[in-house]
Structures are given as structure tokens and as C-alpha cells.
């Protein structure tokens, strides 16, 4: 799976990018036909502590999955997104099984 990380207005360090890629690659054990993942990391200009926005677009056959989460850190936001995508991929795989 090809993972693209986009960070407008700041530069992400390699550790964060590696963390995101590692988490997303684990999704392939739930659904092996993932084509690519686009990850958008943004810092919101608010006074709240949860000002980090993580948005993941996952391209899979039959339509894309999009998840967006706000958190205190990009790592926490990535974890939440991956958990949500995991549930969606399991549902999609179950639907495909029923139609087969």
C-alpha cells in the first residue's frame, strides 16, 4: 500500500511519518485490497488542547473511506482514525463475503 502524508504549514519529522505508515500497514490484515492511503495532518489555530487534526483517505475497491479525528497529538489522532477504519474495513469485507 502506498502511503502519502501531507502536512500543510509545518514539517513532520520522520518518526511521525514512520509511525503513521506502520499503523496503516496493519490495516492490510483486515482488508488486503487497499490501494493507497492519503494522510492529512493539520494544526488548528484554536485555544483548545485538541488542536491536531488527522484526516485519512483510504482507497479501496468499491469506494473510498474517509476518517477525520481531532486529538492532542498526531499519534493519538492517528490511533483513533486507524481504529475507525479497522471497523469500516471489517464491515466492508463482511458485505463482500455475503455477496460472493
Examine the pLDDT at 9 and tell me if it is beyond 90.
no
For 11-23, the pLDDT digits (tens) are 889 999 999 999 9
Integer angstrom CA distances of residue 96 from 34, 65, 74, 82, 92: 14, 15, 32, 21, 6
We report the CATH number of the domain holding residue 78 as 3.30.160.100
- The domain in which residue 23 lies consists of 2-99
For 37-55, the pLDDT digits (tens) are 999 999 988 777 889 999 9
- Give the burial string for 70-96 (b: 16+ CB within 10 Å, else e): bbeebbebbbbbbeebeebbeebeeee
What is the structure's pLDDT at 100?
67
Number of domains the chain contains: 1
What is the structure's pLDDT at 48?
78
**pTM of the prediction?**
0.91
Amino acid at each position: 500500500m502506498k502511503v502519502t502524508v501531507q502536512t500543510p504549514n509545518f514539517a513532520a519529522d520522520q518518526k511521525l511519518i514512520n509511525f503513521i505508515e506502520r499503523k496503516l500497514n496493519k490495516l492490510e490484515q483486515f482488508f488486503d485490497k487497499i490501494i493507497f492511503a492519503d494522510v492529512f495532518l493539520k494544526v488548528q489555530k484554536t485555544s483548545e488542547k485538541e488542536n491536531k487534526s488527522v484526516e485519512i483517505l483510504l482507497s479501496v475497491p468499491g469506494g473510498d473511506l474517509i476518517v477525520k479525528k481531532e486529538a492532542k497529538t498526531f499519534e493519538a489522532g492517528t490511533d483513533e482514525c486507524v481504529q475507525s477504519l479497522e471497523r469500516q474495513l471489517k464491515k466492508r469485507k463482511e458485505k463482500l463475503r455475503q455477496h460472493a
